[in-house]
Amino acid sequence: MIKRKILIVDDEPDYSLLLKGLLQQEGYQEIDTETNPKLVESILTKNEYDLIILDVYMPQMDGIELLEIICQNYPTIPVIMVTAVDNIEIALKAIKIGAYEYITKPPDTDRLFLTIKRALEQKLLEKERDSLRTLQFESTIQRKDYSDIITNSPLMFKIFELVEIFAPTNETVLIVGETGTGKDLIARKIHERSSKFNQPFVTVNLASISPTLFESELFGHEKGAFTGAAGEKKGYFEIANGGTIFLDEIGELPKELQGKLLRTIQYNEIYRIGSPKPINLDIRIIAATNKDLLTEVNNKEFRADLYYRLNRGFITLPPLRQRGDDILLLADYFRKSGNKIYNKEVTGFTDSVIKILKNYTFPGNIRELENIILNAVAKTQNDQKITTLDIPEKVLKGRVEIPEPGELKPLEEVIDNYIEFVFNQTGRSLKKTSLILGISERTLQRRFKRGNDNLS
């Protein structure tokens, strides 16, 4: 029996009872249901829950409205939203407010159970974090161990705590995150904080291996095992033996080799191509992907048994756009790096560039930011600041800020933002901007100079 208390809030009593039955079969016994969302606030004042499963569309009260109340007053309770209507806008709004996940009815039971398991594990880890007095990441001593990761984000501090929890074990760890979020850095941290820290750490980018060479590259081969095998060769697993192997882009592993990787994890041994003799392994496996592997499992593109084997420890890295002031911290770090590379003294960023960086979504994350800043440093003269002229056009486009209600701005700032928007939309043509806005070119020059942007 799993000792976790769950509350199901859904206006359809039949669905609530069905879901309750499914969860009880899975081992969850303490499950309450409520069909009237208006009573939930009162219920939460009298009971402690580890998880809430909340319907979106209910006649008495909108689920999104209730979600806001729960996240504001009970932020430690994870909430999984369920709905019969697949609406991307509502899903994004729910996640933005603080929902753990958004699932459509009827849910795939495997996905639902896995989501519940992860949500409860996250809540448990947060409780353990509060009790682990040694994990004082705000202290100088502990932060030194992560000083090579530029961050001041609470989201990243949580990642560091997960590293501390998983590192001492020998369990496989799956790191999930968008391209460029630093999955390799976290994998290396797990290795460095483990008992295998003085043993090999071998990175394998599966996306870069030719499909015909996968097995040979991973497991090695004997002399004469196939045409062209002039000598024996150690594979990556054998090279990493005793240490850690980091399988980046695990979602690219061909289906026919997924079974062999599963066997390797289960039995801690490999076979070179052309050899009947097993090679015993003492190895830690860390895998990473930017794909939704659960979707790949549902599409029969990735083996479910391998997925659950890799998923013993799970870390989700936040995209750069969710890390707040880290954008500017990293931008300044890359500016200093660029100065060393190009032997320059670029002094900083204009206010306009700072606004652009803070409002850009960075689909390529940290790697994209690094490329943007290094390229800008290369184009900027000594003792000058990086200006909008040094920033790629795709970053500049559509960067006019539309204030949220209550975030009113001075008229002068709104005018400056609109002038810059028109300037960028005209291909940064001073003449066209002047004609569209009905402002003289000299006036435009003065405004841009006031903002420290050089047009010449």
Residue of 118, 160, 169, 111 lying closest to 137 (CA atoms): 160
Residues 366 and 410 in one domain: no
Tens of pLDDT, residue by residue over 239-287, are 999 999 999 999 999 988 999 999 999 899 999 999 999 999 999 999 9
How many angstroms separate the CA atoms of 116 and 412, rounded? Answer: 49
User: Of the ranges 32-41, 52-61, 252-261, 390-399, which one carries the lowest mean pLDDT score?
Assistant: 390-399
Question: Does residue 263 contact residue 218 with C-beta atoms inside 8 Å?
Answer: no
154 falls within a domain:
no
For 123-158, give one letter per residue: b (16+ CB within 10 A) or e. Answer: beeeeebeeeeebebeeeeeeeebeeebbebeebbb
CATH of the domain at 275: 3.40.50.300
In this prediction, residue 295 carries a pLDDT of 87
Taking residues 146-153, what's their average pLDDT?
89
Identity of residue 324: G
In this prediction, residue 48 carries a pLDDT of 86
User: Of the ranges 202-206, 270-274, 330-334, 415-419, which one carries the lowest mean pLDDT score?
Assistant: 415-419
Q: Would the pLDDT of 387 be above 90?
A: yes
Residues 177 and 261 in one domain: yes
How many angstroms separate the CA atoms of 286 and 175, rounded? Answer: 8
Q: Would the pLDDT of 144 be above 60?
A: no
How many angstroms separate the CA atoms of 349 and 453, rounded? Answer: 10
Question: Does residue 191 contact residue 243 with C-beta atoms inside 8 Å?
Answer: yes
In this prediction, residue 400 carries a pLDDT of 41
143 falls within a domain:
no
Task: Tell which of 390, 413, 437 closes a domain.
Answer: 390
Give me 122's structure tokens.
């996250």
Q: How big is the CA angle at 350 (ends 345 and 354), to the nearest 5 degrees?
A: 110
Residues 280 and 323 in one domain: no
Cα torsion at 65, 69, 72, 73 (round to 10°)? -170
Residues 362 and 435 in one domain: no
Total number of domains constituting the chain: 4
Residues 303 and 344 in one domain: no
Question: Does residue 45 contact residue 70 with C-beta atoms inside 8 Å?
Answer: no
Q: Give, as one character, the DSSP assignment of residue 144.
A: G
158 falls within a domain:
no
CATH of the domain at 56: 3.40.50.2300
Q: How many CA atoms lie within 13 A of 312 on its CB side?
A: 17
Tens of pLDDT, residue by residue over 203-237, are 999 988 988 888 999 999 998 888 888 889 999 99
22 falls within a domain:
yes
334 falls within a domain:
yes
201 falls within a domain:
yes
Q: How big is the CA angle at 150 (ends 148 and 156), to the nearest 5 degrees?
A: 105
Residues 423 and 324 in one domain: no
In this prediction, residue 261 carries a pLDDT of 93
Question: Does residue 237 contact residue 218 with C-beta atoms inside 8 Å?
Answer: yes
Q: How big is the CA angle at 249 (ends 247 and 255), to the nearest 5 degrees?
A: 90
Between strands 269-271 and 278-280, the pairing is antiparallel
Residues 341 and 295 in one domain: no
Q: At what angle do helices 430-437 and 411-425 cross, to 10 degrees?
A: 130
> Residue 106: is the preceding peptide bond cis (ω within 30°)?
yes
CATH of the domain at 431: 1.10.10
Task: Tell which of 364, 390, 416 closes a domain.
Answer: 390
Q: Would the pLDDT of 131 be above 60?
A: no
173 falls within a domain:
yes
In this prediction, residue 339 carries a pLDDT of 95
Per cent of the chain over pLDDT 70 is 88
Residues 20 and 61 in one domain: yes
How many angstroms separate the CA atoms of 1 and 7, rounded? Answer: 17
Task: Tell which of 318, 343, 366 closes a domain.
Answer: 318
CATH of the domain at 346: 1.10.8.60
Residues 173 and 308 in one domain: yes
Question: Does residue 242 contact residue 283 with C-beta atoms inside 8 Å?
Answer: yes
356 falls within a domain:
yes
How many angstroms separate the CA atoms of 81 and 85, rounded? Answer: 11
Residues 63 and 197 in one domain: no
Domain of 46, in residue numbers:
2-130
Q: Report pTM.
A: 0.59
Residues 255 and 180 in one domain: yes
Residues 270 and 372 in one domain: no
Taking residues 31-53, what's their average pLDDT?
90
Average pLDDT, the chain: 85
